[in-house]
Amino acid sequence: MKHLCLLLTAVAFAAEPDWTAIDKRATEFLQSYIRIQTVNPPADSRPAAALFKAELELHGLSPKIYESGPQQQILLVRLPGKNRALKPLLLLNHFDVVPVDRAAWKVDPFGALIQDGYIWGRGTLDMKGIGVQQLFALTMLKDLGIVPERDIVMLVTPDEETGGELGIRWMIEKHFDEINAEWCLDEGGMGTRDIFSKEKRLIFGVAVGEKQLLWLRLRAKGTAGHGSQPIPDNANMILIQAIQKALELPVNVKGNRVVAEMMRVIGTAAENKFMAAIQKNTISLTTLTAGVGSPVKANVIPSNSEATLDCRLLPGVNADEFVSEMKARINDPRVTIERLTNPVDAGESPSDTALFKILADAIRKHHPGAEVTPMLVPFGTDSVNLRKRKIPAYGFTPMILDAATAATMHSDSERIPLDQFLKGLRIYLDVLRGI
């Protein structure tokens, strides 16, 4: 506690924070946060909310805790600005992380090990690292005595990884006035030299939109029988043929405005799965389920077979038409298609706002020569719920990531470069100073 008091005193009376002390404190805080296993399900966010609450209170802030479920807590804190008539800036992040396959990890996924210049663990990239950057930027602003022009609100939710029903959607339904913002900063985007452009230039993408999430279940019905006697009405074969036809997506000739603007900045697009995914509608086969018995018998042809498809649609694509076209391609009465999600087409946030310029200026201050572009992300975030409410939301990751590191999101080697995490603290503080 003595060390912390000295740290706060030093920060309070300095024109700049004591970055040596801040870097150490932020790193240790992130490690503590990673070690709290906020896996969703069950998305028990109570220990993580307590960690954030204690840190905020140390800096004289007064966070609120909302109980959105039996184990789910939402944290909200507000730093008052000069002009209370202005809508606030909303900083949005989430406590929850996806499950882990411990056997596949080479390190403890919740150990927060620092090794080879990286901090390793579930949630480092998605999105505990960004959450700590937001938290520390907010508390540094308070300690420096900087009063922003408008309020800054930070919201931390427990349920982003399963759709936000007990998180952002709960807040919008129950307490929208608390988060009705001028702009929002969330996860998404990044700085990189090898993901966007073939030319290896340093480019920061700020996400202004995301693809629509459409999950489908295909069911095939056939005739059961003995595996020794092949039959044409085999549900597995019917399903395989249906999947092949489902994957034969027509070329999207319309394109997308944000992708076109991004291409003007990056030049020749790099050839990788990320760039391929943001330029077109995509379908991934994610599960296959069939068989009779437990364990399943190898000599029984089942009468039913199922698969799930993870479809991601560009903004502006009509989901009903997409499914109708897939049914026409399959054209088999033995196959049914069930929608597991209802896509939200919230459009894209504008990139000509004051906040977008502040983000670009902060990036270029710390990375001279970097180019900044609006972009789409292929995955879903809580921001879609805010864009649906006409709140411009931006995915902002103030770190340079290479393709190998960015690909560790949700993987068994998730990690972020420690130096980039710390550089991101400085960028985030400059963003908040500019609000």
Determine the pLDDT at residue 12.
Answer: 42
Instruction: Quickly tell me which residue has 């595996």 as its tokens.
Output: 227
What distance lies between CA 146 and its chain's CA centroid? 29
Pairwise CA distance, residues 376 & 292, whole Å: 43
Q: For 243-262, how does the pLDDT look when each residue is reduced to its tens digit (9 = 90+)?
A: 999 999 988 767 899 999 99
Which helix (H) or strand (E) segment holds residue 225: the answer is strand 225-226
Determine the pLDDT at residue 15.
Answer: 75
Pairwise CA distance, residues 170 & 68, whole Å: 7
Are 363 and 430 within 8 A, CB to CB? no
The phi, psi pair for 253, rounded to 5°, reads: -85, -15
Q: Which two tokens stand for residue 176?
A: 């929208």
Q: What is the 8-class DSSP label of residue 279?
A: T
The phi, psi pair for 299, rounded to 5°, reads: -110, 20
Determine the pLDDT at residue 175.
Answer: 98
The phi, psi pair for 98, rounded to 5°, reads: -80, 160
pTM for the full model? 0.92
- Which residues does residue 217 pair with via DSSP β-bridges, in sequence order? 308, 338
Determine the pLDDT at residue 254.
Answer: 78
The phi, psi pair for 361, rounded to 5°, reads: -65, -40
Determine the pLDDT at residue 252.
Answer: 73
- Which residues does residue 185 pair with via DSSP β-bridges, in sequence order? 91, 394
52-53-59 Cα angle (round to 5): 95
Pairwise CA distance, residues 254 & 93, whole Å: 33
Residue by residue, pLDDT tens for the chain (435 residues) are 445 444 544 444 447 999 999 999 999 999 999 999 999 999 999 999 999 999 999 999 999 999 999 999 999 999 999 999 999 999 999 999 999 999 999 999 999 999 999 999 999 999 999 999 999 999 999 999 999 999 999 999 999 999 999 999 999 999 999 999 999 999 999 999 999 999 999 999 999 999 999 999 999 999 999 999 999 999 999 999 999 999 999 887 678 999 999 999 999 999 999 999 999 999 999 999 999 999 999 999 999 999 999 999 999 999 999 999 999 999 999 999 999 999 989 999 999 999 999 999 999 999 999 999 999 999 999 999 999 999 999 999 999 999 999 999 999 999 999 999 999 999 999 999 999
Q: What is the 8-class DSSP label of residue 301?
A: E
Are 334 and 219 within 8 A, CB to CB? no
Determine the pLDDT at residue 11.
Answer: 43
Which helix (H) or strand (E) segment holds residue 134: the answer is helix 129-143
Determine the pLDDT at residue 20.
Answer: 98
53-172-167 Cα angle (round to 5): 50
Pairwise CA distance, residues 382 & 190, whole Å: 17
